[in-house]
Structure formats: structure tokens, C-alpha cells
Structure 1
């Protein structure tokens, strides 16, 4: 089990969490349920891995966000039809 990167003391557990993400156009946010996350038993912070964060951000760039409601699940988001083949704004 990993140590929490925030408090450097607590132990992390894997949880499914609800997160709220601002869309790339900045006009609104979407609720994403059942998102893979980590929870610290010491400082009680919940956060997503860098990989999960990148998956969400890339997918929001690649889909037609007008088709996205106010709420979705992580799996539903990742299954949405892509308009672009890749995130052309990712320069990493």
C-alpha cells in the first residue's frame, strides 16, 4: 500500500469517487461518478492519479461536450464517441 503524497504518513486505499470537472471551454462543469480515486486514512484527502486525470482531460477534449449531460460516470465518459483522434493540445 502506498503512502499519501499529501501528508506523507497515511496509507492510501482505492475508492470510487464523484468528481466535478470543468469542461475545456470553461462554460460549465460536469459531475463524473464512479471515478477511480485514492483516499488517505490519515488526512482524509481524496484524489485521482495522474493517469486518471489525463484520461478525463483528454477525453473531454476529444468528444463533443454538447452531447454530455450534467452528470455521467467515468466509464460512460470514456466510452463516448470521439470527434478528434487525439488531444492536439497535449504537448508532452
Structure 2
């Protein structure tokens, strides 16, 4: 099954890495996450993250000490941050 753009359903998409801005779960600030996996559509120009990436970022931000984060961090470095909990015990979706 070929992937298509979530916005315009074009098959003219490719994987890339982009900067994104994310509000921390406690609402205290937003951070820039560099080199985040993204989908780019050549037809409509939309740049977005797949749901699986969104979930990984949100879980990681929920499980780490965000007070130690700088305003900018790479996706890779964010995923390397030590977790306070093994998993998100408040996620009942799975």
C-alpha cells in the first residue's frame, strides 16, 4: 500500500527531518525540537509528523524531567533523555 499525504492525498510525499515546536505537558514553555522525522508533500506543501512520531514525542515529554531541557534540542537527544517512569501509565489508548 503506497502512502499518501494526510492532507491532499497526493502520492508525491517524501520523508524528511524538520524543526518542530512543542508545548511541554505542564504548559510552562514551548521548545524547538530539531531534526524531527516529518512527511513533506510536494503537491500541497504540507509538512507534518505521522501520528506515531507525535505519540513518541508526547510520551517522552511526559516521562522525562522537562525542567532540565533547553529551549532547543534535537529529536535524537530528546529521545535519549532518561525517563522518570518506564512508560506512560496514564495512556489508556492501547
Same fold (TM over 0.5): yes
The runs of at least 4 consecutive aligned structure 1 residues that moved more than 6 Å come to none
- Contact kept in structure 2, 1:14 and 1:38, CA below 8 Å: yes
| Equivalent residue number for residue 87 of structure 1 | 88
Tell me the distance in 2 between the aligned counterparts of 1:48 and 1:20: 12
The Cα of 1:86 is off from its aligned counterpart by 1.1
**CA-to-aligned-CA distance 1:28-68 (integer Å, 9 cap, x gap):** 10100000000000110000111111110000000000011
Structure 1 runs not aligned, ≥5 long = none
1:29 is aligned to 2:30: yes
Deviation larger for 1-10 or 80-89: 1-10
| Equivalent residue number for residue 16 of structure 1 | 17
The Cα of 1:10 is off from its aligned counterpart by 4.7
| Equivalent residue number for residue 65 of structure 1 | 66
Structure 2 runs not aligned, ≥5 long = none
The Cα of 1:11 is off from its aligned counterpart by 1.4
1:45 is aligned to 2:30: no
TM-score, normalization: structure 1?
0.94
1:6 is aligned to 2:13: no
User: How many pairs does the alignment contain?
Assistant: 92
TM-score, normalization: structure 2?
0.92
- What RMSD, in angstroms, separates the aligned Cα atoms of the two structures? 1.1
